Amino acid sequence: MPAYLIANINVTDPALFDTYRAQVPAVIAQYGGKYAVRGGAMEVVEGSSPFQRLVVLEFPTMAALKSFYHSPEYAPLTALRQKASTGDVILVEGYAP
């Protein structure tokens, strides 16, 4: 069953965040992940939007997602992202009928 990392990011240091963005795709791919959403244009059609920069990553399984998130390759990138932004990150299981 697929699993997703969903992040709502508020970039506070654009130059530093660009460094993170340049390095993270290779690590995501290394663990079988791919971008489903990467900060694209958003349109609020109901309610008010709490979203700043929305990112959704898809992985084949929750185990693969957790391996990525807790990996030694991603740890320094997590620290970099946290220096360059604030936000929320969740891991969620997908749906397989």
Q: Give the Cα separation of 90 and 45 in Å (integer).
A: 23
Question: What is the pLDDT at residue 25?
Answer: 97
Question: What is the pLDDT at residue 97?
Answer: 81
In the chain the domains, ranked by start, together with CATH numbers, are 3-42+52-93 (3.30.70.100)
Question: What is the pLDDT at residue 48?
Answer: 84
pTM value? 0.92
Half-sphere exposure of 17 (CA within 13 A, CB side): 13
From first to last of the 97 residues of the chain, give the pLDDT tens digit.
Answer: 999 999 999 999 999 999 999 999 999 999 999 999 998 898 989 998 888 899 999 999 999 999 999 999 999 999 999 999 999 999 999 998 8
Question: What is the pLDDT at residue 51?
Answer: 86
